[in-house]
Amino acid sequence: MHFVYKLALLACVAYFVTIPFVDACQSSHSSTNSSNSTGRKKREASQDVIVVLITTEVYDASSTEAALQVFKDELTAFAREQNVPKTDKPITTEAVNVAGNFAAKFTVKGGDCEKASGFVQKAVDQIDGVSGGIVTCATGNPKIFQKKN
């Protein structure tokens, strides 16, 4: 029962965290110049990848910037250990409250969904203090990751 509750909670969080992303993508499509000469739609902001990594730390609004920097440093070290090359893609970050826990939300402009999903699964499984992750790609359907036992 506990697992089902956590999964349902993560699904709800994934939905609410990605609403601004989905809305932004829908509003970025205009009726003019939305396709190229072959009739296919151009790749636009919908190719962004949104990653939310949820920690076991309690969310404290007064220390989000410091907590976010510590978490980013830990992720950078983990990526180096995993031989993940540094990306040249623009990444925005923000601290978010997920069910009372501190989480970091990363938006990667033009990111690779499969690579991001693989990295998130490894981070969730191997980094102490990370309890779960959510990856949302162009389809808008979030992928939810939990620690494997």
Give DSSP secondary structure letters for 100-142.
TEEEEEEEETT--HHHHHHHHHHHHHHSTTEEEEEEE-TT---
Could you tell me if residue 70 is inside a domain?
yes
Whether this prediction's pTM lies above 0.75 is answered by no
Could you tell me if residue 86 is inside a domain?
yes
Q: Label residue 132 by pLDDT band (50, 70, 90).
A: very high
The number of residues in the chain equals: 149
Half-sphere exposure of 1 (CA within 13 A, CB side): 0
Question: Between these two residues, 4 and 148, which has the higher pLDDT value?
Answer: 148
CB atoms within 10 A of CB 72: 14
Position 11 scores a pLDDT of 43
Could you tell me if residue 111 is inside a domain?
yes
The burial of 47, by beta-carbon neighbours within 10 Å (0-12 exposed, 13-18 middle, 19 or more buried), is given as middle
pLDDT digits (tens, 9 = 90+) for 92-117: 999 999 999 999 999 999 999 999 99
Could you tell me if residue 38 is inside a domain?
no
Position 84 scores a pLDDT of 87
Range in 24-33, 74-83, 113-122 the model is least confident about: 24-33
Could you tell me if residue 39 is inside a domain?
no
Task: Please report, rounded to a whole number, the percentage of residues in the chain having pLDDT higher than 70.
Answer: 68
Q: What is the mean pLDDT of the chain?
A: 77
Could you tell me if residue 56 is inside a domain?
yes
Could you tell me if residue 98 is inside a domain?
yes
For residue 86, give its domain range.
2-28+46-146
Distance CA 140, CA 119 (A): 19
Q: What is the CATH number of the domain that holds 11?
A: 3.30.70
DSSP 47: G
Number of domains in the chain: 1
Could you tell me if residue 33 is inside a domain?
no
In whole angstroms, what separates CA 91 from the centre of its chain? 11
Average pLDDT over residues 128-132: 95
Distance CA 76, CA 84 (A): 9
